[in-house]
Amino acid sequence: MSHRFADVIDLYLLSGSEFTRRLRAVRPEQWAAPTPCPEWDVHSLVNPMTRGNLSYVALLNGGSAAEFLRLRDRNALHGDPVCAYVRSMRECAAAFGAPGALDRILDHPLGPVTGEQALAIRTTDATIHSWDLARAINAPEQLDPGLVAWVEDNLVDIYAGLAESPVTVETSHRFFAAPTAPPLAEESRQARLLRLMGR
């Protein structure tokens, strides 16, 4: 089967490394710091990012969208957030790298998707939340330019056919914040992507 998102596993690992780099910089007193996501502090951002990796593996193995949402906030850090996140990221990459995994249909909370599209969504999540984490802990906010370009160039396809999309005006904004401001002629690709994603 032909694939829309070339090198999606490598891109997913790159987005995970961006998140890991910020995660390693979190100081003990910063776990309760607010993030750009109003409902999350640093701990409650890192936990669903870790749990999400494990839940994507579960979807790949036949898990349901309802189970995915039910487990979303269950603790996945077990006292060692960096180790837990890195392990979950590697487990997710290995699962999606198995023969046929990218072509499997998953019961994602936003609607049925192929494994390939699911991993593209996950890559986008990790990219945007890397910036959220950097902002929360006052770390450098510049994301990998190639990753930013890939996400922005593919946003329409990444969320094609789903119940909600950051690039659809009439979307419910259940999972995505509304764009924060009109576009500016001089804004960078990263600034434009972040604006589209409600930052």
Compute the distance between CA of residue 198 and CA of residue 173 in angstroms, rounded to an integer. 10
Stated pTM of the model: 0.92
Confidence at residue 182, expressed as pLDDT on a 0 to 100 scale: 67
**C-alpha torsion sign, points 175, 88, 34, 120:** negative
Confidence at residue 198, expressed as pLDDT on a 0 to 100 scale: 84
Confidence at residue 73, expressed as pLDDT on a 0 to 100 scale: 86
Q: Is 177 helix (H, G, I), strand (E, B) or coil?
A: coil
* Residue 62, Ramachandran bin (φ over 0: left; ψ between -120 and 50: alpha; else beta): left
CB 116 within 8 A of CB 1: no
Confidence at residue 101, expressed as pLDDT on a 0 to 100 scale: 97
Confidence at residue 155, expressed as pLDDT on a 0 to 100 scale: 92
pLDDT band (50, 70, 90) for residue 197: confident
Compute the distance between CA of residue 73 and CA of residue 2 in angstroms, rounded to an integer. 35
CB 97 within 8 A of CB 115: no
User: What pLDDT, in 10s, does the model give residues 64-111?
Assistant: 999 999 998 899 999 899 999 999 999 999 999 999 999 999 999 999
Confidence at residue 179, expressed as pLDDT on a 0 to 100 scale: 61
User: What pLDDT, in 10s, does the model give residues 142-191?
Assistant: 999 999 999 999 999 999 998 887 776 666 556 666 666 666 778 899 99
Mean pLDDT of 9-23: 98
Least confident of 108-117, 133-142, 175-184: 175-184
What is the amino acid identity at position 115?
A: G
Confidence at residue 177, expressed as pLDDT on a 0 to 100 scale: 65
CB 47 within 8 A of CB 73: yes
User: What pLDDT, in 10s, does the model give residues 25-78?
Assistant: 999 999 999 999 888 999 999 999 999 999 999 999 999 999 999 998 899 999
Confidence at residue 196, expressed as pLDDT on a 0 to 100 scale: 85
Question: At the top level of CATH, which class does the domain 8-164 belong to?
Answer: mainly alpha
